[in-house]
Amino acid sequence: MTTDKTGIRNLVQICYAKGLRNVILSPGSRSAPLIIAFNRYPGINCIILNDERSAAFFALGMAQQGRVPVALVSTSGSAVLNYAPAIAEAYYQQVPLLILTADRPKEWIDQAEGQSVRQKGIFDNYIKASFELPQEINDPDDQWFSDRIVSEAFIKSITGRMGPVHINIPFREPLYRTGRFTSPTFKVIEIETIISKLPDLTSKKLAEEWNSFSKIMILTGMLQPDQKLNELIKGVSSLGDVVTLTETTSNLHADNFFPCIDRVIGSVTPDEEKRFAPGLLITFGNQVISKMVKSFLRKNRPKAHWHIDVSGTAPDSFQSLTKIIPVTPIEFFSSIYKNLEKKEGDYRLIWQERDSRNELRHQDYLAKVKYSDLWVFDKILRHIPEGSNLQLANSTPVRYAQLFRPFKRLIYNSNRGTSGIEGCTSTAAGAAYESKIPVTLIIGDIAFLYDSNGLWNKQLPENLRIIIINNSGGGIFRFIPGPSDVQELEEFFETAHTLTGEHIVRNFDIPYFSCDEPDQLQNCLNSLYQDHGKAAVLEIRTPAEVSAETLKSYFKYLKQD
């Protein structure tokens, strides 16, 4: 028994044939045909989440880890709009989602009908493609058209730069009618995977240009772990005057990389800038977190900037873009590696000396620092289990993490596509559900409160641990230039408060631990990571003003002669 709507029965079968296995549903009446068809199809896992915004971020977390599309199903009206923040994040993070929104019949839009808004093309600014299925299947051409759209949408979500795709589906009543039907004939359109390659002449030309520069910087953005790419960049970085800057979310690790960008850039004086600036900048991956390196490179623009992206698109983030190379980073570095020269120079040595000096200062500062956000981060990062996935919420947690060398094997993720605070808990929950490995979310109090419905989830995985750093407001505004200097800081920017997450967490019957003093933290971390048979939360209270001053003093300490 399934829905009587032929187009929807075909949609489900096509999605399954193309590899869809997970569907996140939210309650609603207009979406009943989709809910019935997906829930009754063998092999498809349906998860029901009541809050559409949380549901969308949960799907984002799953697709972020699995790198295959996860479907979202919503009813009509304002429910659809709640998907928007997660869809925007998925678009800029290049995460594949299939968004299926039930809609009122076309003739009833803008006719004062309940739960109706203009849904066609509603996400057009931040999706890869938008479609609308035929309102009814009246002849074979309608079915052919509907089936073709489903295949095309799925293909769009996974080819080139992955991303979200939207299909709007208007339904006429009745919505709940079911029956037994013979399997309709449907066609699945496939796409072959083609790997773009650099022609030999182009590869040699690029290598010659590379070899003409004496100061080369590789700057990596947000990436999923890739051991082959890691080894390639490690080899290229050993060739000579090459400086490779990575971030936690780059998920690239080697002794000859520089993973703490802000620690070096933050200590460079105006007189030293030209020595640290590159002649050739090579970038790949998604967004870069470090605001310091962005400002540094915009002020000290390289002579050439190459961006590697298989889609052939690139943002001119540093106002110096000269070349877009439309292949994968693996193809690019594999192709030119054999023609690169090993050159002697002092560019990497300059970075090594400053990085080593600042690592010593970093350790020295931590040894005598007061109880603060920085002190807490040092202790947390040492305690997270090896092999975990670390989800870093916006906005201070992901920035603090950049100050510490990755000294254990972790996978780092963060919603840095649009860098919003909404949905961080829900994303981490989805990541934990999909990955099955230990997942720790480090999140600030404002971001946690903003996504408290992320805990309203019967599927909340037991491998999820959440650490709330509660400094009674938006701590970032105390140390970034601008808001920290105005009288509106506490009320309008920091949104100071006296709330805790305790009653929210306990309301969902989740183990809760709290820490207010430095001598409590070790025991609290031990308790957090015990086997509770369910997710668990630790809230750490930290002093906002002390934390801000500690971080400002930290950068002054690194910079002093």
What pLDDT digit, counting tens, does each position of 273-306 carry?
999 999 999 999 999 999 999 999 999 999 999 9
pTM for the structure as a whole: 0.95
Q: Which element (helix H / strand E) includes 132? A: strand 129-132
Q: Find tokens 């967490």 and name the residue.
A: 505
Q: Give CA–CA dist 511/493, Å, rounded.
A: 31
Mean pLDDT of the 489-501 span: 71
Q: pLDDT (tens digit, 9 = 90+) per residue, 504-554?
A: 999 999 999 999 999 999 999 999 999 999 999 999 999 988 999 999 999
Q: For residue 493, is pLDDT > 80?
A: no
Mean pLDDT of the chain: 93
Q: Give CA–CA dist 448/110, Å, rounded.
A: 37
Q: pLDDT (tens digit, 9 = 90+) per residue, 358-399?
A: 999 999 999 999 999 999 999 999 999 999 999 999 989 999
Sketch out the chain's domains with CATH numbers.
2-179 (3.40.50.970), 200-350 (3.40.50.1220), 369-559 (3.40.50.970)
- What single letter denotes the amino acid at residue 36? I
Query: By the 8 A CB rule, do 165 and 32 touch?
Result: no
Closest CA to 180 of 41, 38, 10, 3: 3
- Residue 2, classed as helix, strand or coil, is strand
Question: Across-strand partners of 129?
Answer: 165
Confidence of residue 190 (pLDDT cuts 50, 70, 90): confident
Task: Calculate what percentage of the chain has a pLDDT beyond 90.
Answer: 84
Q: For residue 480, is pLDDT > 80?
A: no
- Cβ atoms within 10 Å, residue 532: 13
Q: Find tokens 């001053």 and name the residue.
A: 549
Mean pLDDT of the 487-501 span: 69
Q: pLDDT (tens digit, 9 = 90+) per residue, 418-455?
A: 999 999 999 999 999 999 999 999 999 999 999 999 99
Mean pLDDT of the 62-70 span: 97
Task: Calculate what percentage of the chain has a pLDDT beyond 70.
Answer: 96
Cβ partners under 8 Å of residue 197, min gap 6 = 327, 331, 335
Asked if the peptide bond before residue 514 counts as cis, ω within 30 degrees of 0, the response is no
- What single letter denotes the amino acid at residue 147? D
Query: By the 8 A CB rule, do 151 and 189 touch?
Result: yes
Cβ partners under 8 Å of residue 280, min gap 6 = 209, 210, 213, 215, 216, 217, 302, 303, 304, 305, 306
Q: Strands 178-179 and 2-3, how do they pair?
A: antiparallel
- What's the confidence (pLDDT) of residue 478? 52
Measure CA 409 to chain center: 19
- Residue 31, classed as helix, strand or coil, is coil
What tokens appear for 459 in the block? 């599927």
Q: pLDDT (tens digit, 9 = 90+) per residue, 302-341?
A: 999 999 999 888 889 999 999 999 999 999 999 999 999 9
Q: pLDDT (tens digit, 9 = 90+) per residue, 220-260?
A: 999 999 999 999 999 999 988 999 999 999 999 999 999 99
